């Protein structure tokens, strides 16, 4: 009798046992660093004297009065929006091409996945060589076709440096967005397309009135994943431009890294990290509310 009650208890609580390992991992790699960062943000460390001073909300007050922080946040938003406009738009049309039954679909999918399979460090170095002012492929091609008459130092111009940073991020995000959208398109019943054709709808009318409404959840998922990863991206800015020229491509994640490791202001950097965490959390919460209202 006792053994039966134990078995029944295990059956009722089995899903908790299944999720326990994942919960522990999340607790270790997410919750603990976040709480420690929150704790650190209320202190100032004097590394020369080896002392820590409690300052309350002083780091946050200084942060919101810091023009450098607002400049970094502005550039991060520009970077994220630019990557979304380029990356998501291309991903949508690539997904449409895959869904249309294009020839050699498998080869096409492999080609789309190549950026995703490329390590970010390798991808950044590759793009840095492509736009190199002396040995870069871009300058070579543009010189050959007569668009420019001398080599251009693309990363030395603020506008083009940010443009190529956006292109690099979009290039890296396209594969996942394409797969998410393509998976959504694959579950659209063929009868809907047949009915649209019978009603006289053209190709783009069908896309607008059939495809997009049916995959709206996949669109939202792809948008939030793309935005979230781009907003907190550190590696591309660090490897491609280093935040330069000056600080014209310095995004928030890179600024946090420099503040903590170069300027040795760990408390201030922790406050910046917490603010970034709150912004991302607010965005994801808004996404879930949007999903809920559209169900």
Q: What is the pLDDT of residue 8?
A: 59
What is the reported pTM? 0.87
User: What superfamily does domain 62-294 belong to in CATH?
Assistant: MetI-like (1.10.3720.10)
Separation between Cα atoms, residue 10 and residue 215, nearest integer Å: 39
Q: Which residues contact 169 (CB under 8 A, 6 or more apart)?
A: 79, 83, 87, 230, 233, 236
| Boundaries of every domain in the chain | 62-294
Q: What value, to the nearest 5°, has the Cα angle with vertex 18 and ends 13 and 20?
A: 95
Is residue 1 very low, low, confident or very high in pLDDT (cuts 50, 70, 90)?
Answer: very low
Please compute the mean of the pLDDT values over residues 8-15 and round it to a whole number: 63
Q: How many CB atoms lie within 10 A of CB 194?
A: 10
Q: What is the pLDDT of residue 23?
A: 81
Q: What is the pLDDT of residue 10?
A: 59
Question: Do the beta carbons of residue 241 and residue 155 sit within 8 Å?
Answer: yes
Helix runs in the chain, H state only: 2-12, 14-26, 32-40, 58-64, 67-99, 105-117, 120-130, 137-144, 158-186, 190-198, 203-206, 212-214, 216-231, 235-236, 252-261, 266-294
Tokens at residue 169, please? 């991020």
What Å distances lie between residue 93 and 29, 54, 291, CA to CA? 36, 53, 23
| 194-221 pLDDT, tens digit each | 788 887 778 888 888 888 999 988 998 9
Rg of the chain over all Cα atoms, to the nearest angstrom: 24
Separation between Cα atoms, residue 243 and residue 125, nearest integer Å: 15
Separation between Cα atoms, residue 172 and residue 239, nearest integer Å: 14
Q: What is the pLDDT of residue 11?
A: 61
Q: What is the percent of the chain where pLDDT is above 70? A: 93
On average, the pLDDT of the chain sits at 88
Q: Which residue has the higher pLDDT, 266 or 49?
A: 266
Separation between Cα atoms, residue 55 and residue 41, nearest integer Å: 9
**Buried residues in 5-24 as b, exposed as e (16+ CB within 10 A):** eeeeeeeeeeeeeeeeeeee
Separation between Cα atoms, residue 209 and residue 185, nearest integer Å: 13
| 138-193 pLDDT, tens digit each | 999 999 999 999 999 999 999 999 999 999 999 999 999 999 999 999 988 888 88
Separation between Cα atoms, residue 191 and residue 196, nearest integer Å: 9
């Amino acid at each position: 009798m006792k053994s039966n009650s134990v078995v029944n208890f295990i059956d009722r609580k089995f899903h908790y046992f299944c999720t326990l390992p994942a919960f522990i991992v999340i607790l270790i790699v997410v919750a603990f660093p976040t709480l420690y960062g929150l704790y650190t943000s209320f202190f100032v460390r004097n590394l020369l004297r080896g002392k820590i001073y409690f300052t309350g909300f002083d780091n946050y007050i200084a942060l919101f009065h810091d023009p450098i922080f607002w400049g970094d946040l502005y550039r991060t938003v520009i970077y994220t929006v630019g990557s979304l406009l380029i990356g998501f738009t291309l991903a949508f049309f690539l997904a449409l091409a895959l869904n249309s039954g294009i020839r050699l679909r498998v080869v096409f999918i492999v080609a789309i996945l190549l950026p995703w399979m490329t390590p970010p460090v390798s991808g950044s170095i590759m793009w840095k060589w492509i736009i190199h002012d002396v040995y870069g492929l871009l300058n070579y091609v543009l010189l050959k076709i007569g668009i420019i008459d001398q080599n251009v130092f693309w990363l030395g111009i603020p506008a083009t440096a940010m443009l190529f940073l956006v292109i690099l991020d979009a290039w890296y995000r396209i594969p996942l967005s394409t797969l998410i959208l393509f998976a959504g398109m694959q579950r659209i019943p063929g009868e809907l397309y047949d009915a649209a054709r019978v009603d006289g709808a053209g190709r783009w009318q069908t896309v607008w009135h059939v495809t997009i409404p049916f995959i709206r959840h996949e669109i939202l998922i792809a948008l939030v994943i793309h935005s979230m990863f781009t907003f907190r991206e550190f590696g591309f800015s660090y490897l491609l431009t280093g935040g330069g020229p000056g600080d014209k491509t310095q995004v928030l994640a890179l600024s946090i890294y420099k503040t903590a490791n170069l300027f040795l202001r760990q408390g201030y950097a922790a406050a910046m990290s917490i603010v970034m965490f709150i912004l991302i959390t607010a965005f994801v919460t808004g996404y879930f509310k949007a999903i809920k209202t559209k169900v």
